[in-house]
Structure 1
């Protein structure tokens, strides 16, 4: 994790131990740097720090800052034997435990894309909620069956069965040769514009400037596990938020004691847990139809504890890199945190 303890006004060299901690969790195929490619006036972590929060930026396992391991290294297939289930079961709780010990306080959470999926799954299982003040979910991803990104739909169809390695590669490295070949094969399909891969995945973002996108592309994308991509593809194909499907009943029995993988029941999320959801009309990954399914599973949430903000011109990347995201999203998000 990286930490920003002080805003630009500073505190005369004296750190305020009572500042409210905020944890930022990025999505898939990127790392924590995506939060800070904009200027300090436009990037959420800096805006939060300037607003008096104690900011922590997480980096998912397998990305550049989180590749260490006690016994394995990233060249071994075993290192990559995980999906977002493990992020729900181990990584997010460990992060929360660490922050709780370090700060002695409950935590505000901001997730984007897969960072919202792992949070929602955790909350539905009763994890984290005792250490949480509130959660803001940007481009929330839970259900994926409506996604309109052509390349995403094709990838979801390609990742079938137990294909936990791609051409024998357990690491899904977008800059590696195996993944480049895989993407090239998808690019031959009509409707996929591989000259603008970012828009092909995210939808047509309204509000990114060229220098931000250039900086983003210098630093991203990052690796994840092929198994994680398979799990996300299963989520898209099945229209369910469930644990990883091993593809054969006997393997599921071995792992779960049942023939089908257990479902994360999102209606189990505590009704009094303050949630802020912001989603966009042009988002090809977090499609409005899927967000509506998510909101339906939260329909019994206490009214004052569920805030939604819809932006018709926003697509997936606008929420973390949009030049006007402060005015459009972050001011409302900070006001929500202050209320809770």
Structure 2
């Protein structure tokens, strides 16, 4: 049974999301998708143009676009800029059936058929970005295609939304056939040249920080309860100091915004393992665990050369979480990928979803490309 505080949190988040879309003049729907491992995901849909609804909208089928948010974010990131500027609304105006995913543990997806995230915390938050890429995203895509009756959709992913695209299509390669085209907005994958110095330094102690956090029940980052930081009763140790530094770094990266949503500490640990190893690989269980799980002493790398989708990797030279050299390397490995640099030198990692000039520098281009590929 979900406790009262959890219910209040969920209803509040849901109400604010629906209210925001309605205030902006758009009809929206909320769909629940239950994954194979029991997580209940919220999937938002904007099927019509502004001020249209089921009664006055044209009945002809529309091409489908699926948008996936980044780490510590949610579907609000694609409506944040409001009418005339936000990507989801621009796509709806261009005649697309727009769907926005919410990963497990995040906005209105902090639910499970059995696990209560406020009680069985360690079990509920035992997931990394690979679980989102191999379960959440493909199962949301299957749901969307079933509801719309379309054989394919277009994919847009920001930051971790790009990461999970790379994971999904390198492991579950059948999804290459279900995606017509993709646009990755600072999609994080290869990390040989990871640019953030503080996170790069903390990544050296990834396993130590993660083990300490899980031991003390600190498994959720920026959740609704006072569960984001170590308890005052925990003695000051090197491990606690490292975890405090990581949490402070996360707070400084994301600040306070309606786009924020909870995430698992294991998502950060998985990125940390890759930053430390300067690679893009699956969760590292250690030699014994890797042999048991993968049949090899080392965690295997994601083979993105298996991704055959027509993919554009948008990037900026002022990104503190993704280096230009890693983007260029990824696009050279994927057979049908190309890279595109944003034409503003100061454009940042979060500007992909919050900068007013993202429409001019990015969104107009994406919509033009989608229109061309949908013909």
Which of 288, 307, 312 does residue 324 from structure 2 map onto?
Answer: 288
Residue 162 of structure 2 is matched in structure 1 by 116
Residue 10 of structure 2 is matched in structure 1 by none
Alignment of 1:59-138 (within 5 A): 59-75=102-118, 76=120, 77-105=122-150, 106-125=152-171, 126-138=173-185
CA distance in 2, matches of 1:17, 1:184: 57
Residue 277 of structure 2 is matched in structure 1 by 238
2:288/2:297 contact within 8 Å kept: yes
CA distance in 2, matches of 1:94, 1:339: 27
CA distance in 2, matches of 1:184, 1:134: 44
CA displacement at 1:114 relative to structure 2: 0.6
CA distance in 1, matches of 2:239, 2:315: 27
CA displacement at 1:246 relative to structure 2: 0.9
- Give a deviation string over 1:121-150, Cα, whole Å, max 9, x none: 222231411211100100121012322223
Does residue 319 of structure 1 match 2:352?
A: yes
CA distance in 2, matches of 1:162, 1:155: 9
Higher relative contact order (CA 8 A, sep 6+): 1
Alignment of 1:163-174 (within 5 A): 163=210, 166=213, 168-174=216-222
Give the secondary structure class of the aligned counterpart of 1:337: helix
- Give a deviation string over 1:247-284, Cα, whole Å, max 9, x none: 2x1111222222211221112222xx211221011000
CA displacement at 1:156 relative to structure 2: 2.1
- Give a deviation string over 1:209-258, Cα, whole Å, max 9, x none: xxxxxxx82424322112221111111111221110012x1111222222
The worse-fitting range, judged by mean Cα deviation, of 122-131 and 100-109 is: 122-131
CA distance in 2, matches of 1:36, 1:223: 19
- Give a deviation string over 1:153-189, Cα, whole Å, max 9, x none: 2442342258356152253223565644599946998
Alignment of 1:210-289 (within 5 A): 217-247=256-286, 249-270=287-308, 273-289=309-325
After superposition, the Cα gap between the structure-2 partners of 1:307 and 1:290, relative to the gap in structure 1 and judged at 3 Å, is closer
1:24/1:111 contact within 8 Å kept: yes
CA displacement at 1:5 relative to structure 2: 0.8
Structure 1-normalised TM-score? 0.84
1:5/1:15 contact within 8 Å kept: no
2:218/2:228 contact within 8 Å kept: no
CA displacement at 1:313 relative to structure 2: 2.3
Structure 2-normalised TM-score? 0.76
1:32/1:57 contact within 8 Å kept: yes
CA distance in 2, matches of 1:110, 1:78: 30
Alignment of 1:37-48 (within 5 A): 37-48=80-91
Residue 340 of structure 2 is matched in structure 1 by 308
Give the secondary structure class of the aligned counterpart of 1:147: coil
2:209/2:243 contact within 8 Å kept: no
After superposition, the Cα gap between the structure-2 partners of 1:45 and 1:149, relative to the gap in structure 1 and judged at 3 Å, is same
